[in-house]
Structure 1
Amino acid sequence: MIGRIFLRLLVTLMVVLATAWGSLALWYQLPMTTASKYAFIALWCMLVLGLLFALWRRRPWLALGGFLLLFALLLVWWNTLAPSNQRVWVDDLAKLTTGRVEGSQVTLNNVRNFDWRSDEDYVPRWETRRYVLDRLTSVDLATSYWGMPAIAHVLVSFGFDDGQFVVFTVEIRKERGERYSEIGGFFKQFELSIVAADERDALRVRTNVRDEDVYLYRVNMSEEAMRALFLSYIEQTNQLEEGPRFYNTITANCTTIVFDMMRQIVQGLPMDYRLLLTGYLPDYVRDVGGLQANLGLEELQRRGRITERAQQAGDDPEFSRLIRDGVPGW
């Protein structure tokens, strides 16, 4: 008797969790008005409640079979949802960066170089830029904070000895009128985008326009590893152009994408909670030997905070040099 009650409690818990997941999936993906979504989700919950009543009162196996059939139908619909590159995107994510490698020569198409005055007032520019892999000399990690210290956006900047810098940033590809939602990021609400941008765009828009707090860290990497990471970004951007992917708040975000690429280059990188709490990522990178070993994290953060320097540099052609003044390793 006790065993049957425990089993029914366990099944009830699983059904409730699956129902909650299904409700959120319906909310974020049903192409309906808000009122229609409420009605459809209410119907879904009422059907499940009826099956739970049957589970406890009448024929439990019949009730469980009914729920499994209902949930299977939901999963069939869920798996029909496919990412797309053909939507009405916001201007700064309207194009996909792609690259072509010919020997040591690299051509990047659709490098973003917007002139930002505000989030609504800007001059859009998409450029084709060329780089020489043999002249790649540096990799910098940038973390941008806008609220909680545990959460930051992560950007990676590559520097060349001819003075060029290009930033790769993993973004949710928002449609016009769409707003970011952490929960929606679990439910196929956004596509994934990797954008290459000029530093005066990618970093300055965060410090000077969005009032975010940005830190820059010089990363210790061999020439071979720097080149491999740069080429990996190009490979990823080309793959997204050929086959779009959904963004995921946990498994496909601005940190996990970079970590997956780095794990192909540096063997043995450990999984860590700081890969999810992205604000603490610099601490993780330092622990695996990626930052200046002779300085503590607090000192690296203090000297690597570029917010004020970026605000003062503005659109100066020497922006990249000015923001690095005092950054350890430069």
Structure 2
Amino acid sequence: MLLGALWAGGLLFYQMPGPVWLAGLLALAWLLAAGWMALRVARGRADRRVGSAYVLGMACAALWWTALSPSQDRVWADDVAERLHVVAFDGHHVVLDNVRDFTWRSEQDYDARWVRREYDLQQLRSADLVMSYWMGPAIAHTLVSFGFADGRQLVFSLEIRKERGESFSALGGFFRKFEMTLVASEETDIIRTRTNARGEDVYLYRLHALSQAQLRTLFTGYIDQARSLDAAPAFYNTLTSNCTTIVFDLARHIAPGLPLDYRLLASGYLDEYAFDQGALAPGYSFATLKARARITARALQPQAQNDFSAWIRRGVPGTAQEDQP
């Protein structure tokens, strides 16, 4: 009863229209009433009216939950205003509309730019795991950056599709508070905004020994996700549909035996999980890999303005810049 009441209380708080204080007041009133009902049941003093009231409340919450539907049409924040659109894909060449290429000076000061990009998947050469820490060591946002023979990089990031003025809430993500979106971006946008504009701590690891076919499988998985979200909206879920679960789901396409692990939920430790599975550059301890993967300081240096992608990889094991200090 208490678990059900907590879920219904969260639904009230995060989905009730109107001011936040009113939603909080209603959620608190429901929780107090449900707690009183649970106490009556525990003491054997509940009658039929108490049980009926609880069942009715939970039934209303369940009906409300099923009636919630995601949308493509809201007043979106600028950085998620456009949907990634696959213009053409023949298995080898892909044309993408609405690749993000913002110039960020701060979180509020930026030049918005959405561009069309073409990529030849036969020129795929690498994939890097990028982890951006924004809320302590246990929580990180997970991105994957694909490298091509001509030196270009394309980053995919599954994110909440914020409405204008809205901010992320991990708890809200359990209650269908946010739609999700797949962002494809230049590294000078999506990595630099985290290191330079937001002040997050960012790490980059080269994923080890992926064949051309495996790289294409991973990339194609993101293309499939982009097409799905372009065709129909979907809710973000903090537990089951987030930036880390998509990486794990796609990784299982090339390594079906990957085990489930608590570090898939505590996303800040995903790099350690990848190390244990042999997915990072060999010949190094995890501590050494993590120390050399930290790109935050390099991203902030003036030299990064010239060739951002090459500069941030200086000293990162497994990359062409591995031996550069």
Q: TM-score, normalised by structure 2?
A: 0.91
Aligned partner of 2:289 in structure 1 is 300
1-structure distance, mates of 2:35, 2:308? 60
CA distance in 1, matches of 2:185, 2:303: 16
In 2, the alpha carbon distance for the partners of 1:201 and 1:267 equals 33
1:157 counterpart = 2:145: yes
Is residue 167 of structure 1 aligned with residue 155 of structure 2? Answer: yes
Q: Is the 8 A contact 2:2 2:35 kept in 1?
A: no
CA distance in 2: counterparts of 1:250 and 1:92, whole angstroms: 23
3-state SS of 2:58 partner: helix
Alignment partner, residue 7 of structure 1: none
Q: Which of 311-320 and 149-158 deviates more?
A: 311-320
Q: Relative to structure 1, is the Cα distance of residues 145 and 57 closer, same or farther in structure 2, using a 3 angstrom cutoff?
A: closer
1:16 has 2:16 as partner: no
Q: 1:177 is matched with which residue?
A: 165
Question: Share of identical aligned residues, percent?
Answer: 46
> Radius of gyration: which is bigger?
1
Among candidates 72, 91, 94, match of residue 106 of structure 1: 94
State whether structure 2 residue 280 is matched by structure 1 residue 291.
yes
Residue identity matched to 1:242 = A
Letter in 2 for 1:229: L
Judge conservation of contact 1:113–1:201 (CA < 8 Å) in 2: yes
Secondary structure of residue in 2 paired with 1:329: coil
Q: Which stretch shifts more, 309-318 or 119-128?
A: 309-318
In the TM superposition, residue 73 of structure 1 has moved relative to its aligned partner by 1.9
Q: Select 2:309's aligned residue among 301, 320, 326.
A: 320
The whole-number CA distance in structure 2 between the counterparts of 1:302 and 1:82 is: 43
Look up the equivalent residue of 1:158 and give its one-letter code. F
Matches within 5 A, 1:182-201: 182-201=170-189
1:240 maps to what in 2?
229
In structure 1, the residue matched to 2:242 is 253
Counterpart amino acid of residue 147 in structure 2:
G
Query: Quick one: distance in 2 between partners of 1:29 and 1:107?
Result: 37
Partners in 2 of 1:328 and 1:245 — Cα distance?
A: 37
Gaps of 5+ in 2: 320-325
Task: Give deviations 1:17-73, integer Å, cap 9, x for gaps.
Answer: 211221111011011223543454355346546755764566645533442233112
Structure 1 residues 67 and 207, CA, compared in 2 at 3 Å: closer, same or farther?
same
CA contact under 8 A between 2:93 and 2:120: conserved in structure 1? yes
Q: Show structure 1 runs of 5+ residues with no match.
A: 1-14
Corresponding residue number in structure 2 for 1:12 = none
Map of 1:73 onto structure 2 = 60
Q: CA RMSD in A?
A: 2.0
Further displaced range: 251-260 or 59-68: 59-68
Give TM-score, length-normalised by structure 1: 0.90
Q: Name the count of aligned residue pairs.
A: 316
Q: Secondary structure at the match of 2:281?
A: coil
Q: Find the residue that maps to 1:255 and give its secondary structure.
A: helix
